[in-house]
Amino acid sequence: MELYFLGTGAGMPSKQRNVTSIALNLLDERGTYWLFDCGEGTQQQILNSPVKLGRTEMLFISHLHGDHLYGLPGLLSSRSYLGGDTPLTLYGPPGLKRFVETALEVSGAHLTYSLNIVEIDQEGVIFEDPSFIVETARLEHRIECFGFRIIEKDQPGKLMHDKLAALGIPAGPVYGQLKQGLTVQLEDGRTLHGADYLGAPIPGRIVVILGDTRYCQGAEYLARGADVLVHEATFAMDKQELAYSFDHATSHDAAKIARDAGAGALILTHISSRYQGDAVTELLQEAQQLHANSYVAKDFWNFEIPRKAFLNEM
């Protein structure tokens, strides 16, 4: 599991940063990518990245401002041209369905895959399957805006092969059944309970990706205990009043959320074009004063999210 940043700028593209889009690489977990926001030019950014549009399974739109949305019609059409034929689900605020259907109808686009659009009308769980849960909450922005909490469910612990071998049980189908936590009746009459032969569960990872927001309780709620928090940092601290008036956050605001919520790594994105080159260091230093494990994202940068079990062994 890793985050890949396709666009990290705010408002409009600059020479250093395209507008917002983030890919969550789940190739190892489910063979797919999930995308978060789709600003203008996202499909061009994908062409210069390892992200495979045809293997994108879901796309989450935090809000309907252009720098998070205007790349969507082109991306949907290109997915067909690139051979994408598996279903794609879009999640986003009310109005997303009308925007997409109008753009496709007016342009005469024809999709070669099934497109499902889910408009988010309340907070809470919007997706769940045996492996993942996605929870959303409202943020404070000029229009309806959501953040997303991606929860990987805990995985069964490692099967105790040595313990089974000591009982004279050879590797085979029984091992697979026990790995699933099932109870197995052996031919010799012995009964084995899967839970007795599994190590401690492997904790799942939690990734939180927020849309545009100023400091708010919704952001802190979603960020609680996250392994990684991706938070906008449009401005530095000296622009606090400006940030608040436009419903945006400073690097200090983002770091305070990460600290108070007990998040692991903090990644700052949605950077104003006024911060070019070394000026970005100011944002990072301000965040690190409150939350040492902070980073500033840049286009085509990836951040790997190891499992907690691996972290504990390091």
* C-alpha dihedral sign at 258, 259, 261, 263: positive
Please say if the pLDDT value at position 307 is more than 70: yes
* Side chain identity, residue 185: Q
CB of 213 within 8 A of CB of 140? yes
Q: What are phi and psi of 243, to 5 degrees?
A: -60, -45
Provide the CB-side half-sphere exposure for 94 (13 A, CA): 6
pLDDT tens sequence across 267-291: 999 999 999 888 999 999 999 999 9
- Residue 180: per-residue pLDDT: 82
Q: Could you list the residues known to form a binding site for Zn(2+), using ranges.
A: 63, 65, 67-68, 141, 212, 270
Known catalytic residues are 67
Q: Could you list the residues known to form a binding site, using ranges.
A: 63, 65, 67-68, 141, 212, 270
**Superfamily per CATH, domain 2-155+201-313:** Ribonuclease Z/Hydroxyacylglutathione hydrolase-like (3.60.15.10)
Please say if the pLDDT value at position 94 is more than 70: yes
- Residue 58: per-residue pLDDT: 98
Please say if the pLDDT value at position 18 is more than 80: yes
- Residue 6: per-residue pLDDT: 98
Please say if the pLDDT value at position 311 is more than 80: no
Rounded CA-CA distance 125/15 in Å is 37
3-state SS, one letter per residue, for 245-290: HCCCCEHHHHHHHHHHHCCCEEEEECECCCCCHHHHHHHHHHHHHH
Per the prediction, the chain carries an average pLDDT of 93
pLDDT tens sequence across 102-146: 999 999 999 999 999 999 999 999 999 999 999 999 999 999 999
Domain boundaries, given as residue ranges, for the chain: 2-155+201-313, 161-197
* Side chain identity, residue 79: R
What the block records as the tokens of 313 is: 């062994």
Radius of gyration of the chain (CA): 22
Please say if the pLDDT value at position 182 is more than 90: no
